Amino acid sequence: MSILDKISGRFKKAAGDIADDPSLRRQGRQEERKGEAKEELAEAHERADAKAEEIANLERKTSS
């Protein structure tokens, strides 16, 4: 869903620019940052899962 937040944010920023509405631009920036944060969190989870798998593999090798 992070991509939807980013797209929605960009749309709101553009609409705020067109309408000269600082509040709408601000909402757009916030949504875009929210999407970016979600992506970063997902990437961190993937790295943590990869490390956990790496450790599990090492434990299997050393216990054999």
- Integer Cα distance of 13 and 7 in angstroms: 10
64: confidence class by pLDDT, cuts 50, 70, 90: low
What is the pTM assigned to this prediction? Answer: 0.74
- Integer Cα distance of 50 and 60 in angstroms: 15
- Integer Cα distance of 64 and 28 in angstroms: 54
Q: Which residue has the higher pLDDT, 63 or 46?
A: 46
Question: pLDDT (tens digit, 9 = 90+) per residue, 4-21?
Answer: 999 999 999 999 999 999
pLDDT in the model for residue 63: 78
| Average of per-residue pLDDT across 35-46 | 96
